[in-house]
Amino acid sequence: MLGWALTFLIIALIAAALGFGGIAGASAGIAQILFVVFLILFVIAMVARAVRGKPPV
């Protein structure tokens, strides 16, 4: 999921450099949403691992 966020971020940067404002804005928005989802899933995974008694890596 982090890979998708980075991909959309790169697409947004390229589109912004070429002057495609709408595509750049949409891609940046998608990248932000995916990054937040990734962070939430990461925190849930770390909490679940701690609850099971395994130390965080």
> Which tens digit of pLDDT belongs to each residue from 13-35?
888 888 887 888 888 888 889 88
E strand or H helix at 57: none
42 found inside a domain: yes
57 found inside a domain: no
56 found inside a domain: no
Alpha-carbon gap, residue 23 to 28, rounded angstroms:
8
38 found inside a domain: yes
26 found inside a domain: yes
Q: Nearest CA to 31 among 47, 48, 44, 13? A: 13
Q: What is the pLDDT of residue 27?
A: 83
Residue range of the domain that includes 8: 2-51
Q: What is the pLDDT of residue 1?
A: 66
19 found inside a domain: yes
Total domains present in the chain: 1
Cβ partners under 8 Å of residue 23, min gap 6 = 11, 12, 15
